[in-house]
Structure 1
């Protein structure tokens, strides 16, 4: 986060001309968002900053109309309720009388909560939080920084205003050129093509190994963020390919990153500044808990090491205590790092607060919990709870997860508009976000796998069809991140296909293909994967490795043939669910209801429950008891790894 301009911010040229060059760079850069991004107004009223009295506008038509009528630049503040640096800036920069007066007089200040508006975050966030942007009255980026001290903000605002007054026509022309390039790109959109190879997954793994921190774990130096997909690749690909080195990288990272686990209340902090996982940023996010719960359950499932189980249970304890609404059955979004007063000022910083025990903490109050409930993060935690329920034997977690998914489908799914991202003042808002569709879709698939209740598969298919109708680029392949709308403002008018979400879409549609056998899902996944692999943009290496491996590697089938109410049948079913084998499909087949078939395989029934472990190529001899199932699975992979002569 910048506290002052770098020494070379205005190198050997007048400040105004330097900012002009910055504009050219930014406007050109935004064109690339058309292919892959980095990662509607809800009110027409202005909102006072309770710490400074500054009147903030909502992102919406009213603010843009005012900016254009009054011919003023927009100051866009991207913030989050859990953001420590944002609170500091509120207490200093935005409380400075000179900054306030200049903003209120000569600019249109707009504040956006990125948890509430991920569509704006995808287009306007640069680096971390807060992101401070100066925009033209029509929403194009003039300048961006992060946290700014009062004197730096004053200098920036004054020079930006002078620049705009003197270079207005040139800036407008550059903005017009941006939209012309966007239009041209739409018209030249090409169908995706190109061969896909399983070796692409191995390439991703080799790149990960080169980045591994052998001292501290993780796949970067610093700062240390959680990398859930990298750990999933390490355990999953390592398991399938018997790559012990890769497996140990994943397990080592899980052991080292425990430094970010709150030793008192449980739950993981957001990230660490140092390579050794020290100097945490103490906010706790629902999605971070869900991602870590998945991986610690996986590690316990894989290794049987109860230390991983303990950490998973500490995550659950934290979520149940602080982020679960026992009244509605849904999950809250986050918990702040610091204890703050009603005026928003920091009373106890997180570094001090989280060094205390429970009694001392509660005596001083508690960091704010953001009690809003968002669709994507609730789906993430529901999926993690379903996984934990199967492995840890906690049936109450499955019950909670299924209620969350049912409630989202009942209250937030619209067949015309897709899923609502959130709600404010009892009004659902921001429909049709790709990220929400995918995250709920993956959770619904997991719900079907866990219960064999076809209702969840039907929900997943209905959502997939709406997702394609609203967001799929049928010519160019892949998915846009939000539906096109004539009401979009600023850079929301740039069609964006975010890499991460498109890769997750591949995984979702591949799962739907394997569960339903419908070729259209496989075709959608293939077009999307071809588009991703053909882009010149940097891709999330671990996630693309997962998607490619899942594309080529058919899931293991575990068929349990027996009467559903038989104790042995139930024991075989539960053992199959607990068995570590990523993306496996466990199915119970009733011996008195039709043919004993799964796909093209017909299973014998000898009057007693049996379990069969198969792929699309081979099926091993039946087993009649749960013990030894893991060894039988290893036998299957030993056969599959033998070279074909």
Structure 2
């Protein structure tokens, strides 16, 4: 589950104008089980409950196969450790997936651009796509026993009323609305205030997430002389988060209740990086935040950094840091860049400057050696089936290398930052629109249009990071052009907090 979850376990049959809801919460996460591996002792390897389906890897060619076979694509987004929608004794869902659809599975952490397009509300998520990539239906956090009915009904509708389905999913300005909104610091603040929980701190509900991008936005607002309200919201949220079980010397992904007392035992690198940055900035004015920041830094150093690979981990499943658990062994560019930046930016204020530069330098060397090509393309992860050239990865890695050169004086990092930025300029920037694409053209079928990365999740949005990176290399004019060029379908909200913060920094707005 992610920041984008609404707490509703419903899916809309968009093509048919129907809504089907399933009562109750989703099935709980599958915690890893210990497996004996030679002389290495017990390691934690989550089982794959969906391995019975012959899943295909994501690629643009999948839609060519769908077109030739005249079958829709079944896109299944699920992370390692989640209970599978295709598990259990009933083989019906698996049979339907393989015989009536082209089954494709992605891990949202491995294919973030695809997940942002088709699974923005979290996972597990099912989408049924036509051969041109149009989405007919999306079901998030549904119960496993309802999957066969969904697949059967949609197959029947496509067989009998395909023309109606295709007509309904065609983009329509009248149906979707043509009004757009510009990025606004004031609107972002209004959205945060409206969602603020005055009792427990935090934002929204019933689920509570750390929302570190919102905290950083409030922190920037709070530097103004008249923004006492922003400082109070920030302080109340930090105090509530640090006082509850969501805080275990690092921060867990969410609480199932608004009082922060029922954590989901899962943690992500982006949350650690975001919170470390906020605590580092708040440390000068609070001994409590200084101590919490030190504890978080030490936990990142001891439990998130892998000395064997010289890189930071991206995700873990466990109840507590000192309990047996599973950590994702795959090195990811975004997770490492975020933690490099967080360590370097908070090291001095937390009295960890030498350790921060040491860890960041090792992780930077690994990124440069393993995930950045000589042309400046950033591979998302150190696996074969990985996207490359994603906007967030390019800009985060460029920022990390730039900060490494500034603090360590090592020229190879500065040269790499230039290569990475230059590649993004050449392959992702559109001068006519003044915007960056989320992914290179070859990531999608030719008939698809690129979608901008304008929404924060655990990490800042692609446009926010792009603006920050442009400003860092001395191009604030183009950074502002990127931010002013954002066109939203609704007023600026919490999910644009990172971009609003960058606008605040660049314009000096209060």
What is the TM-score normalised by the length of structure 2?
0.81
Q: Identify which of 94, 119, 128 aligns with 1:125.
A: 119
State whether structure 2 residue 106 is matched by structure 1 residue 112. Answer: yes
Aligned to 2:444: 488
Q: Identify which of 390, 409, 415 aligns with 2:348.
A: 390
Residue 399 of structure 1 deviates from its aligned partner by: 1.1
Deviations 1:28-50 (A, max 9, x none): xxxxxxxxxxxxxxxxxxxx955
State whether structure 2 residue 16 is matched by structure 1 residue 20. Answer: yes
Residue 546 of structure 1 deviates from its aligned partner by: 1.4
Q: Contact between 1:218 and 1:253, CA under 8 Å: does it hold in 2?
A: yes
The SS at the match of 1:132 is strand
- Distance verdict in 2 for CA 1:232–1:51, change over 3 Å: closer
- Distance verdict in 2 for CA 1:79–1:165, change over 3 Å: same
Residue 455 of structure 1 deviates from its aligned partner by: 4.8
Residue 490 of structure 1 deviates from its aligned partner by: 8.6
Deviations 1:112-170 (A, max 9, x none): 11111111101111422111112224432121112333442222111111111112344
Deviations 1:349-398 (A, max 9, x none): xxxx55xx95xx4xxxx222111111011000111111232222321221
The SS at the match of 1:134 is strand
State whether structure 2 residue 421 is matched by structure 1 residue 464. Answer: yes
| Structure 2: runs of 5+ lacking an equivalent | 20-46, 174-179, 455-460
Supply the distance in 2 between the matched residues of 1:430 and 1:101 (Cα, whole angstroms): 29
Aligned to 1:277: 260
Say what the alpha-carbon RMSD is for the aligned residues: 3.4
Q: Identify which of 319, 325, 336 aligns with 2:306.
A: 325
Residue 57 of structure 1 deviates from its aligned partner by: 1.7
State whether structure 2 residue 125 is matched by structure 1 residue 142. Answer: no
Highest CA radius of gyration, 1 or 2? Answer: 1
Aligned to 1:406: 365
Q: Contact between 2:347 and 2:356, CA under 8 Å: does it hold in 1?
A: yes
Question: Relative contact order (C-alpha < 8 Å, sep 6+): which is higher?
Answer: 2
Supply the distance in 1 between the matched residues of 2:71 and 2:48 (Cα, whole angstroms): 21
Deviations 1:537-584 (A, max 9, x none): 443353243122211239xxxxxxxxxxxxxxxxxxxxxxxxxxxxxx
Aligned to 1:420: 379
Q: Contact between 2:15 and 2:168, CA under 8 Å: does it hold in 1?
A: no
1:520-599 aligned at under 5 Å gives the runs 521-532=475-486, 534-539=487-492, 540-553=495-508
Residue 280 of structure 1 deviates from its aligned partner by: 1.4
Supply the distance in 2 between the matched residues of 1:3 and 1:542 (Cα, whole angstroms): 21
Aligned to 1:377: 335
1:445-460 aligned at under 5 Å gives the runs 445-453=402-410, 455-460=412-417
Aligned to 2:198: 214
State whether structure 2 residue 220 is matched by structure 1 residue 226. Answer: no
Residue 307 of structure 1 deviates from its aligned partner by: 2.0
- Distance verdict in 2 for CA 1:113–1:206, change over 3 Å: closer
Deviations 1:177-211 (A, max 9, x none): 55x99xxxxxxxxxx999x9xxx545544553344
Aligned to 1:637: none
State whether structure 2 residue 277 is matched by structure 1 residue 316. Answer: no
Aligned to 1:258: 242
Supply the distance in 2 between the matched residues of 1:382 and 1:254 (Cα, whole angstroms): 22
Supply the distance in 2 between the matched residues of 1:81 and 1:552 (Cα, whole angstroms): 42
